[in-house]
Amino acid sequence: MVVESERPPLPRGLITLITGCMFSGKTTELLRRIDGVDSGLALLFKHVIDTRYAIDAVVSHGGKSCAAIVVDGSAALLHRIPNDVSLVGVDEAHFLDNGVVAVVSELRRKGVDVVLTSLNCDSWGESFAVVDRLTQIADARIVLTASCAACGEAANRTQRTTPIIDGNMIGGAESYEPRCVRCWRPPETLHKTLRLDTPSRS
Ligand SMILES: [Zn+2]
């Protein structure tokens, strides 16, 4: 684990962004932090598009899981949070629209801690606009790396290993593996064609 920058923790209302490539342990770290909060005081959210391992739970690549509320956008997220919650977790925040930035800012203002995970970049090595904004407002950022599937060095890129069909980028180990920047290659499919179809780009 590499901690790129971490400001001193505030009493309450801290936005923590956990980023990295696929298989870098982002969700495992999120679930560890959720586990550290009394049950009933933490809520976990995921986007409806992410059905890779379970529909209504967040599951790490290592198999650990936690029940999650499924939302189709940032507006739905804010409406589902009761007043007595002290920590909100959001898995795979790159799937969400830009409105999530205002939502987590509002939660921080209310004194609610927010922990989000996100890919550091897409299969073409480009950042997500919503993640760029979250990076700007986060109080703490944790950057995780995986082990390159080709050479074993530290990996910070996600390698697509199967053809992209109809712009569908959702997948797990059958379609992706971690790579270091030297072993990583972008897909041959044109990026701009997919931007129109990929929800994470909204
Ligand atoms: Zn490598």
pLDDT along the chain (202 residues), means of 10: 53 90 94 84 87 73 81 85 90 93 94 95 94 97 97 97 81 90 89 47 34
How far apart CA 202 and CA 195 sit, in angstroms, is: 9
For the chain, which residues make up each domain, given as ranges?
A: 2-144
List of residues 6+ apart from 192 with CB closer than 8 A = none
Let me know if domain 2-144 sits in CATH 3.40.50.300. yes
List 4, 6, 29, 92, catalytic entry: 92
* Strand 2-6 with 140-144, pairing: antiparallel
Please give the structure tokens belonging to residue 160.
């697509």
Between the CA of 150 and the centroid of ligand 1 the distance, in Å, is: 5
Residue pair 160/47 in contact by the 8 Å Cβ criterion? no
pLDDT tens per residue, range 98-129: 999 999 999 999 999 999 999 999 999 999 99
**For 5-26, what is each residue's pLDDT tens digit?**
555 554 589 999 999 999 999 9
Residue 29: active-site member: no
At 175 the three-state DSSP class reads coil
